[in-house]
Structure 1
Amino acid sequence: MTNRIAFASALAIAALLTGAPAEAKGCLKGAVVGGVAGHMAGHGKMGAAAGCAIGHHNANKKAKQG
Structure 2
Amino acid sequence: MRKYLVAASMLALIAASPLAQAKGCLKGAAVGGVAGHVAGKHGGVGAAAGCAIGHHSAKKKEEAQQAQQTQQQPQQQQPTQQAAPAPANKS
- Normalised by the shorter chain, which TM-score bucket? 0.7 to 0.9
How many pairs were matched up? 62
Structure 1 stretches of 4+ moved >3 Å: none
What is the deviation of 1:14? Answer: 3.2
Q: Which has the higher contact order (CA 8 A, sep 6+)?
A: 1
Instruction: Give identity over the alignment, percent.
Output: 58
Which stretches in structure 1 are left out of the alignment for 5+ residues?
Answer: none
RMSD of Structure 2 on Structure 1 (CA): 1.5
Task: Report the TM-score, using the length of structure 2 for normalisation.
Answer: 0.60
Which stretches in structure 2 are left out of the alignment for 5+ residues?
Answer: 66-91
**Structure with the higher fraction of residues in helix conformation:** 1
* Alignment-mate amino acid for residue 6 of structure 1: A
The structure with the largest alpha-carbon Rg is: 2
Task: Report the TM-score, using the length of structure 1 for normalisation.
Answer: 0.80
